[in-house]
Structure 1
Amino acid sequence: MAEETDGIEEALEGQIRVLVTAAGQVGERIARAREAALRRAQAASEQEARELQSRLAAEQRAARTELGNVHRSDWWDRATPEQIGHTYQVARAWANEDPEAVRAEQRMRDELRTRYGVDVNNAGADPEAVRQAVQRELDRAERDRVNADAERSRVEQENAEAQRLMSQADQDDRRAEEARSAVAHEPDPEERIRAAAEAEQREAYADRARQDGRTQYDSAERREGTARDLEAKGINHDVIATRMRADISQGKPATEAVKNAGKTKAPEARKAAHGRDTQMQHTGLGR
């Protein structure tokens, strides 16, 4: 039994040597790629640079959350080699910019030496195994990037559609208000009836469009729930941060904030239209 246990421990130690060595290399590549992307964005435009800096700030916050784990003994007791490798990769990726990453990296070096006898500076990992591990991680990172881009595009499309719907709702509100004004001032009884029906219909259109717009925007609570679900599935924090960064928008669209707050509805318009709503629902008032 003792020999079997020793064999398992040696295999675990060897796996950690490979993953930590690969993680250090990948983390340094990520850091260089981030610096290059920031330089390109700054050369392109101030807006592009600000947007990238905002996304990087979100990634850094997520990284700090993950790196905070390494200061807890219970995390080390449960962490898998893959988790250790990924967290070390995150530490190396941010070590040139964030003192918290430097602290986390040093703590990981100490724990790896104490728990597994692994010296990060001279891990002694098999070079071919390291090369394969690096390639797997780079392939995974590329898949995550593609998925994040697709998610960001989806959210942008949803937000654009939400803006369109809210704009349409405001337009229908204005037309309903014009129709209500006609009800109040139009001398022709038949014209007043027609205007009342139009006001009722436009209000229904506006309500439906505004509700659809709100649905497109989603709520902050739903987004937080999504992040928790992704964490529960074991998806790493960088991927979650990328998705949430793409998915973040205001809790409600700007057009909603300035929506006609003081709009009043003429009781006589609704009363006049009520009995004729079905009859006049389709009088050429298409949206």
Structure 2
Amino acid sequence: MADESDGIEEAFEGQLRVLVSAAGQVGERIARAREDALRRAQAASEQEARELRSRMDAEHRAARAEFGNVHRSDWWDRASAEQIGHTYQVSRAWAQEDPEAVRAEQRIRDELRTRYGVDVDNAGGDPSAVRAAVERAEHERAAGDAERGRSAEENVEAQRLMQQAAHEDHRAAEARAAAEHEPDPEDRARAAAEAEQREVAGERAREDGRAMYDSAERRDATARDLEAKGMDHEVVATRMRADVSQAKPATLATASDAQKAPKARRTRGRGAQVQRAGLDR
């Protein structure tokens, strides 16, 4: 049993050396890419620069939540090599902008040296394995960026549809009032028909908006992203169930009850799917 345990520890340490070596390179590339993107956005327009800064602020908050874990001993007791490597990558990516990232990076270096005898500056990972890990991380990052871009576009379109639905509801209410008070019977009939058409159009736009926001792909991508940041599977599943139960963008949470449509019947199945995914992982 002792030999088996030693073998497992050696395999873990070898994997850790490779992932930490790759994470340092990828983190630096991410930092440079962020600087380049901001320069291009600033050169393009003030509006584009503002939107990019807003997205970066959101990414920064998520990064802080992730690398803040390294100051907890219980996180280190159960962290996988992938989680450690990814968290080191995130801290490296923000080290030039955030003193907390620098502090987290130093804590990672100290823990790796103390717990595993790994010197980050000379990790000694197999060069071919490190190159493969870097390529894999870059591919996953590109795929994640593309998925987040699609999710952002879906969210914008969902909000547009919900605003359209609210507009149709308003026009339907006006037509309904006209149908009740117009003195001419033909005008009342036309107003009643218009009210019905607008109500149908509003309901269709609302359901399309909810379906777009509540897409399975967006939820799966969010769940994968949270788990990649080291969040516990059960916590991810709980957050996804809460997201499913709301079934609408947070920016629309103040909509009146009169404008709320019934939840799509498929929501429950999708929530169960996300929960199972979280438990299976």
* TM-score of the superposed pair, with normalisation by structure 1: 0.72
Within the candidate set 177, 184, 188, 1:196 is matched to 188
Q: In 2, Cα distance between the equivalents of 1:85 and 1:133?
A: 10
Structural mapping, 1:8-47, within 5 Å: 8-47=8-47
- Name 1:151's counterpart in structure 2: 151
Q: CA distance change for structure 1 residues 151 and 74 in 2, over 3 Å: closer, same or farther?
A: same
Q: Deviations over 1:65-113 (max 9, x none)?
A: 1111111111111100001000100000011111111111111111111
Q: CA distance change for structure 1 residues 125 and 16 in 2, over 3 Å: closer, same or farther?
A: same
Contact 1:27 1:91 in 2 (8 A): yes
Contact 1:112 1:118 in 2 (8 A): yes
Q: In 1, Cα distance between the equivalents of 2:65 and 2:52?
A: 20
Q: In 2, Cα distance between the equivalents of 1:65 and 1:143?
A: 22
Q: CA deviation at 1:157?
A: 2.6
Matched, 1:115 2:115: yes
Contact 2:181 2:188 in 1 (8 A): no
Q: In 2, Cα distance between the equivalents of 1:203 and 1:40?
A: 48
Q: Deviations over 1:217-244 (max 9, x none)?
A: 55xxx89x95997169724489x9xxx9
Q: CA distance change for structure 1 residues 116 and 103 in 2, over 3 Å: closer, same or farther?
A: same
Structural mapping, 1:26-175, within 5 Å: 26-175=26-175
Q: In 2, Cα distance between the equivalents of 1:97 and 1:109?
A: 19
Q: CA deviation at 1:179?
A: 4.0
> SS of the counterpart of 1:125?
coil
Q: In 2, Cα distance between the equivalents of 1:68 and 1:228?
A: 22
Instruction: Count how many residue pairs are aligned between Structure 1 and Structure 2.
Output: 239
Q: In 1, Cα distance between the equivalents of 2:208 and 2:250?
A: 11
Q: In 2, Cα distance between the equivalents of 1:128 and 1:143?
A: 23
1:202 is matched by which residue type in structure 2?
E
> SS of the counterpart of 1:234?
helix
1:5 is matched by which residue type in structure 2?
S
1:138 is matched by which residue type in structure 2?
E
Structural mapping, 1:256-267, within 5 Å: none
- Name 1:274's counterpart in structure 2: none
Which structure has the highest helix share of the two? 2
Contact 1:63 1:237 in 2 (8 A): no
Contact 1:214 1:252 in 2 (8 A): no
> SS of the counterpart of 1:124?
coil
Q: CA deviation at 1:248?
A: 5.5
Contact 2:161 2:206 in 1 (8 A): no
Q: CA deviation at 1:127?
A: 1.3
- Name 1:284's counterpart in structure 2: none
> SS of the counterpart of 1:250?
helix
- Name 1:282's counterpart in structure 2: none
> SS of the counterpart of 2:182?
helix
Q: CA distance change for structure 1 residues 229 and 31 in 2, over 3 Å: closer, same or farther?
A: closer
> SS of the counterpart of 1:96?
coil
Contact 2:112 2:119 in 1 (8 A): yes
2:252 is matched by which residue type in structure 1?
G
Q: In 1, Cα distance between the equivalents of 2:230 and 2:114?
A: 26
More deviation in 203-212 or 226-235? 226-235
Q: In 2, Cα distance between the equivalents of 1:148 and 1:237?
A: 19
- Structure 2 unaligned spans of 5+: 237-242, 259-281
- Structure 1 unaligned spans of 5+: 187-191, 260-287
Q: CA distance change for structure 1 residues 142 and 41 in 2, over 3 Å: closer, same or farther?
A: same
* TM-score of the superposed pair, with normalisation by structure 2: 0.73
1:196 is matched by which residue type in structure 2?
R
